[in-house]
Structure 1
Amino acid sequence: MSGNKIWSKEEVFDREQFRAVQLERLKKTVKRVYEKVPHYKEKFQEVGIEPGDINTLEDIQKLPFTVKTDFRDNYPFGLFASEKKDIVRFHASSGTTGKPTVVGYTRKDMETWSELIARIVTMAGVTEEDTAQISFGYGLFTGAFGLHHGLERVGASVIPMSSGNTKKQIMIMKDFGTTALISTPSYALHMAEIAKEMGIDPKNDLGLKWGLFGGEGSTEAMRNELNERWGIFSTENYGMSELMGPGVAGECKALKGMHINEDHFIPEIIDPNTGKVLGEGEVGELVITTVSKEALPIIRYRTKDITSLHYEKCDCGRTTVRMSKIQGRSDDMLILGGVNVFPSQIEEVLLNTEGIGPHYQIKVFKKGYLDKIQVDVELIDDSLVDSFSKLESLSQKIRNKLRTVLGIDSKVNLVEPRSLARFEGKAKRVIDMREGK
């Protein structure tokens, strides 16, 4: 596939080379956490495991899982394997549900991080010829700083805009000749709306070529919407602060899943209910073990993300394993009257329906003893607001589509254009109003 420059030789290792590197690094990581992190030593002893018991890659399945609450229980630095004097950078999650998840990086970790981002932005099409505008929020969030260093590493010019001040974003984009936009998909949609309001056609009046989106899940329909509005080629990248931040995986131009940097991360897919490891192509929860991090090595982290793994060589020439588009999160999954519903299923329906915009909100509530769902979605054309018959027809059309996909009935509430909240970071799509939620 032309134009698919490959940044690192490790991206085209054969399977045996990957396995050899992974096993060597896994052994070192297990030994390091056993000796340096009391939490892991205790966990290993509980299941009767010592570092010497890890002799094959398959032995990883003997190791205990790490979960989000382990970070909170060991707040702030209890999971660190390096001394504080060796940490050159701290980041943390937003901590909206309690104490933040704190992560740290040694100088070597920072080098690794920028190297992995360089791989991901290169596979997405960015080169030293590009000007990249980062519209993630700078701060404790890992996204902006992580991508910043990797983009500089490939030689791109970086505009560290941060999020917000959207009209200024558009002005800078136009005046500086931005060619790559880095943001959440929902904020990119909002920016396109504001550009239109300013009399600027995002597709024809700006020079954007690439969209590198992350920070929240999105569907193929959302990608198509972004490509159409901006006139770009957009890719998705994947990471989370507990594992490093962005840099775990990203899409190439073939768009056949996200390539995992598996010389640094060992991925597994498990049944989220039983913890049993599943085979290639089977759908389940992604589990990641970091095998090159110094400050914060993490063993078998349960990401809660639902996906599958595919090992055949990609059209782009890379041999790294690919994870399919995330179907949802096991903790985002709504259980309505015994039926499993992912918000991404609803988004796919809405974005493939004419007459409505890409902004929506899902409300879940009880009516008597029954779970009910209401989907608020914006109209594109406010002239429909005055036509009850047209509104009713469109509402019924969406309702029927949702019933087909979800297997349950839902109420559809069509609202005026630009009446739902916009988000500069992760979009809050679901409001669960059931008691105890």
Structure 2
Amino acid sequence: MRVLLFPVGSYGDVHPFIGLAGELQRRGHQVILHTSEHFRPLVERAEIDFHPVDTEEEYKRTISDPNLFHPLRGFGTIARSIILPWQRRHYEIIAREVASGRNDLLMVGSALAQGLQMAHEVFHVPLATIHLQPSVLWSNIRPPRLMRRMPAGTGMPLWWNAGVYRLAERLMVDRVLRGPTNKFRRELGLPSIVRSTQLWHSPQKVIGLFPSWYAPAQDDWPANTVLADFPLWDESELGELDDDVREFLDAGDPPIVFTPGSAMLNGHAFFQEAIAACRILGRRGILLTRFPQQLPEQLPSGVRHFKYVPLSQLLPHSAALVYHGGIGTLSQACAAGVPHLIMPFSHDQPDNAERIERLGIGSTLYPSQFRAGKIAEKLQHLLQSDQTAHACREISARLANPQGVSRAVDEIDRMLTKNTLAET
């Protein structure tokens, strides 16, 4: 079968799909991964066929937007820069595949790959949606935390939670997506949608790449949802730990690792406070960013910068992780058994932070609270807490034999088998 993968976003969004692609290829499927041109070198290094959806210039323009991680304006930025232009591009990719006579296709994409939904409606190509984080699965029973001060929550009346979500949906999602999406749908002869989130979940298969102990399935999630596990693919299988990193790790106590995310270009304050917190604690630190212009020209002794280190190789030798709350980074910290200190900006990050606190393996500081003294205080408590250490070990043990990628591909294989049988 020919499986077309469509990740949308940053490295944390693309990594899991590379893991899926590799497993699908090992099972004998032909795989093509469609995403930003920026990721071509990585995808080709993993020996996966690649097709670009945008240009390097478009990718850089998107991540340079200061509103990208704004708690209120961030989704609009993503919608205008990625979701809407990629709708047509994704649809046209599938249209070309169908026009070439292919009838052995299956599409796999994220909630943001909405052009695939239209292609499914027009051409009836099977579609699976991959959700990397539970926050895109709204529940009136147990709502995800979509912002710091969320006026909905567990224990509130279901009608209230539904109303809060519908209001947020209208103001933040439908306002930017519904009009242009319906215009495109009319071009295709498709009926208009009432809610933009109708296109977030495949009507055939929704796969959550996270475990049930992290986010238990809710009765009001889409009925076709299955949960796998964290994928935990992060380039470690493409090379050994860099010698410079290994030498730094071997030269002293386990460092604290700081990263605001692979797509963060406006993290100057984050790193400034991180360096100051290391001074207060007398601890060594590692600063991870692909954009060193965010860092001071000279770093203090005991603090090093590296552009990228696979966290599965780095975190087992580290004391703690301070980061933005992205689900890919979070899953690696869970697997390594280190405490989390999360500074959530927007999108899925506040929800992930709340879940980590609920598990007892980390704490949260929102950007307005993210100051060196507070960081040091939180880290000191986390590093000295026997209760936190015990919870981290327990969570790490649950991920000792990760099955996320293989279980997700099992579900995709079931779709492929069902589709093949339906054609015979």
Structure having the larger proportion of residues in strand: 1
**Does the alignment reach a TM-score above 0.5?**
no
TM value normalised by structure 2: 0.28
Larger Rg: 1
